[in-house]
A = this chain, B = another copy of it.
Amino acid sequence: MRVLVLGGDGYCGWPTALHLSAAGHELAIADNLVRRRIDEELGTSSLTPIRSADQRIDAWNERAGVPIDLFVGDVLDYDFLSGIMGEFLPSAVVHFAEQRSAPYSMLDREHAVYTQHNNVIGTLNVLYAIQEHAPSAHLVKLGTMGEYGTPNIDIEEGFIEVEHKGRRDRLPFPKQPGSFYHLTKVHDSHNIAFACKVWGLRATDLNQGVVYGMVTPETLIDERLHNRFDYDGVFGTALNRFCVQAAAGHPITVYGRGGQTRGFLDIRDTVRCVELAIMNPPAEGEYRVFNQFTEQFSVGELAEMVVTAAARLGVQGRVEHLPNPRVEAEEHYYNAVHTRLLDLGLEPHLLSQSLIDSLLNVAIQYRDRIDQRVILPRGDWRGSRQHGRERLTTTFS
């Protein structure tokens, strides 16, 4: 297949592109490289040294059977996007090209507007470019389990059968997202479902859980292929961040009581789920949703698992409960269905002590690259009157 990966330079996009390339697909990556610029804005960087986009592509192409094409540009630039869509004529478009941090979207108005504009208008452009140049291409869009929030009923995969006043219908599952970032994914989902209906596009919305881990078989082939690993308070996700905190001798920071329960998955399953979606496309006009995670944990459980694993490596970890900067339930019911990817053949990499050990060892290996100043959350989602740079430097320390 010809697969265009939008956002193929990022934490999930890069290993996905390599995995699909290794599996024999013809790959092109489009990326505006903004994630690297955001590192500079926030004064942080990947725990692991990563090469420039050109260098990592060159490294892969030295070894790959079929080289990957890299197009540097922005999905907000329709001429750019339309140009590569018309030139490459993909059979599948994997869309990671969004601002993906909830805390970043909550820093202030400018960051909320940036996130919603980038994600919503970017995805609109993707839909129009597919319709214009490759209307039978399959759009594989990264959504998030965070679209659903934490309802007091079981979460289904995108749709729910509702019986109401003696009548029945299958309706979109009600959404209760918890940040301006998560809201963009809900907006996208509605826009994509509509495009499938009116234009007959085909799309898979992967409502992904929190991703942990760093390596896939392909990123290990050459150190120039290494994936990024975020541990800061803005882009670092729970388990990854906890491991770095333990390795750095920093308290493991749980926001609030820690009963917040979410779906999680190993990054090796992320790349496999995208492949499974691509290999099993929906029908023309079909908009489908897969809940993409393998296990549920509470944040507090993960923190304790890291403490235990660290102790085995001779590192003493300590959990600290911070005032929760987010507005979210800290004790709640949570049970989300996630069978569709399993039905397609996903064999999950369940969270193991050995995986946590390996993350801790990576964190220990790169301990001298850890900047403790960027670990804590920035800002309070309840809102302050601060803006821009001033707000960006606010922490709980």
Binding site for B on A (CB under 8 A): 78, 109, 112-113, 116-117, 120-121, 124-125, 128, 131-132, 151-154, 160, 162-165, 167-169, 171-180, 183, 186-187, 190-191, 193-194, 197-199, 327, 333, 381-383, 385
Residues from chain B with a CB closer than 8 A to the CB of A174 are 160, 162, 171-174
* Of B167, B194, B385, the contact of A154 (CB 8 Å cutoff): B167
* Of B153, B168, B172, B180, the contact of A165 (CB 8 Å cutoff): B153
Measured CA separation A202–B116 after assembly (Å)? 22
Residues from chain B with a CB closer than 8 A to the CB of A198 are 327, 381-383
Residues from chain B with a CB closer than 8 A to the CB of A171 are 151, 153, 174, 176
Contact B109 A78 (CB under 8 A): yes
Measured CA separation A125–B116 after assembly (Å)? 12
Residues from chain B with a CB closer than 8 A to the CB of A117 are 117, 121
Known contacts: A125-B113, A173-B174. The answer to whether A190 contacts B199 by CB under 8 A is: no
Residues from chain B with a CB closer than 8 A to the CB of A154 are 164-165, 167
Contact A191 B199 (CB under 8 A): no
Which of chain B's residues has its CB closest to A169's CB?
B152
Contact B121 A116 (CB under 8 A): yes
Contact A162 B165 (CB under 8 A): no
Residues from chain B with a CB closer than 8 A to the CB of A120 are 116, 120, 187
Contact A162 B172 (CB under 8 A): no
Measured CA separation A113–B125 after assembly (Å)? 8
Measured CA separation A331–B70 after assembly (Å)? 49
Measured CA separation A164–B163 after assembly (Å)? 9
Residues from chain B with a CB closer than 8 A to the CB of A327 are 197-198
Measured CA separation A131–B194 after assembly (Å)? 32
Residues from chain B with a CB closer than 8 A to the CB of A385 are 132
Known contacts: A152-B167, A153-B165. The answer to whether A194 contacts B173 by CB under 8 A is: no
Contact B116 A124 (CB under 8 A): yes
Residues from chain B with a CB closer than 8 A to the CB of A112 are 124, 128
Residues from chain B with a CB closer than 8 A to the CB of A160 are 162, 164, 174
CB of A196 to closest CB in B, whole Å: 11
Which of chain B's residues has its CB closest to A76's CB?
B113
Residues from chain B with a CB closer than 8 A to the CB of A197 are 327
Contact B176 A186 (CB under 8 A): no
Which of chain B's residues has its CB closest to A198's CB?
B327
**What would be 10 A-B contacts, judged by CB atoms less than 8 Å apart?**
A113-B125, A152-B167, A152-B168, A152-B169, A153-B165, A154-B164, A162-B174, A167-B333, A171-B174, A180-B191
Contact B175 A190 (CB under 8 A): yes
Measured CA separation A183–B189 after assembly (Å)? 10
CB of A169 to closest CB in B, whole Å: 4
Contact B187 A190 (CB under 8 A): yes
| A116-B124, A160-B174, A198-B382 given; 19 more Cβ-contact pairs under 8 Å | A112-B128, A117-B121, A151-B169, A152-B168, A153-B171, A154-B164, A154-B167, A162-B162, A162-B174, A163-B163, A171-B174, A172-B175, A175-B190, A178-B194, A180-B191, A183-B187, A183-B194, A187-B190, A197-B327
Contact B109 A124 (CB under 8 A): yes
Measured CA separation A131–B117 after assembly (Å)? 20
Please list the 5 inter-chain residue pairs (A to B) with the smallest Cβ-Cβ separation, ordered nearest first. Answer: A171-B174, A152-B169, A153-B164, A109-B128, A187-B187
Contact B164 A382 (CB under 8 A): no
Residues from chain B with a CB closer than 8 A to the CB of A178 are 194
